[in-house]
Amino acid sequence: MPSERQVSLAEFQQHLNNLKMPRAINEVIVHHTWSPTAAQYRGIATVAGVRRYHMHVRGWSDNGYHVMIGPPGDLFLCRPIERTGAHCLGHNGRSVGVSFIANFDVENPAAYAGLEVGYRVVAALLGRFDLGTGAIHFHREFADKTCPGLRLDLTAFRQEVAKRTESAAGADLRIVLLPGSKEIACRARLEGEVTRADLRPLAEGLGYEVLDRIREEGKVYVRGVVGGGEWMAGSGWGISGEPERGRRSRARRRRDRAEVRHQAEEVRRDAEGLCRRCSRAVFPYADCAQPGAGDLLR
């Protein structure tokens, strides 16, 4: 007999951990109910009402959604996740359907405590099925509807979920070098949609040499093929997976290019064992005015 069960987030996570899945999942699809609205919400009775509507009016075997979320953050397990849902035509077989009890065409998501629970539920689902935030979809991508409401933005939603994924909590992403599939542990993590990685192991994995001068100058120099003119330069913590094109002003970009040229020149002098200031031959990687500062290769 189909029914629904209210659970805590911890119980939801436990439930996911214990799932024996008979089907593969590659999408998490987000909905709103539209009707009932958040204002009409009356706890689990509302969830049961949606299930009865889906069963007796639509003629389905159970609630079409796997998970429903109420405005105060109440979380409900509905149709078993093991079973194919009935929430998004053409996508039910390999997805999980999560629905907010709300009408986000008009109701304000910022005043909806359940949104936070929704982010965490979706993050937990991504973790359980080993998916990235690109696997999060809004129903409206696949149907001529506004679902889950015009006041929700997919990119922002994905970013909020990313902040709540395990990798954002400090677990390593696996950076895989292609070709060859060599894996590098480099304290990479996802922040929003930007992949941040510790430069040293990543650059070394790519065959570059790293000169860590964070303490001295707040910079890390990354040296490529000596004499070949190939180099990269960065500062501190951050190779960005998605450069923020268009967000930097023209002046800022010019400054950045000048900075990179400056660093490249320093890297060139370092490579040739020249003092950065006077270009006299010194060894290794030091200004001749600063004897003893050369032991930077650890």
Interface ranges with Zn ion (CB under 5 A): 31, 139, 147
Least separation in angstroms between CB 259 and Zn ion: 48
Considering the complex, state which of residue 85 and residue 234 has its C-beta at the smaller distance from Zn ion. Answer: 85
Considering the complex, state which of residue 34 and residue 231 has its C-beta at the smaller distance from Zn ion. Answer: 34
Q: Which two tokens stand for residue 161?
A: 């979920």
Least separation in angstroms between CB 16 and Zn ion: 22
Least separation in angstroms between CB 96 and Zn ion: 13
The span from the CA of 191 to the CA of 173, in Å, is 11
Phi, psi of 31 (to 5 degrees): -130, 165
Least separation in angstroms between CB 123 and Zn ion: 20
Least separation in angstroms between CB 135 and Zn ion: 17
Considering the complex, state which of residue 90 and residue 207 has its C-beta at the smaller distance from Zn ion. Answer: 90
Least separation in angstroms between CB 198 and Zn ion: 40
Considering the complex, state which of residue 112 and residue 231 has its C-beta at the smaller distance from Zn ion. Answer: 112
Considering the complex, state which of residue 31 and residue 91 has its C-beta at the smaller distance from Zn ion. Answer: 31
Least separation in angstroms between CB 142 and Zn ion: 9
Considering the complex, state which of residue 157 and residue 208 has its C-beta at the smaller distance from Zn ion. Answer: 157
Least separation in angstroms between CB 31 and Zn ion: 3
Considering the complex, state which of residue 85 and residue 224 has its C-beta at the smaller distance from Zn ion. Answer: 85
The span from the CA of 170 to the CA of 102, in Å, is 33
Q: Which two tokens stand for residue 111?
A: 């005043």
Look-up of token digits 């909905």: 31
Instruction: To the nearest 10°, report the CA torsion of 119, 124, 130, 135.
Output: -20
Burial class of residue 238, CB neighbours in 10 A (0-12, 13-18, 19+): middle
Considering the complex, state which of residue 147 and residue 282 has its C-beta at the smaller distance from Zn ion. Answer: 147
The rounded Cα 177 to chain-centroid distance in angstroms is: 19
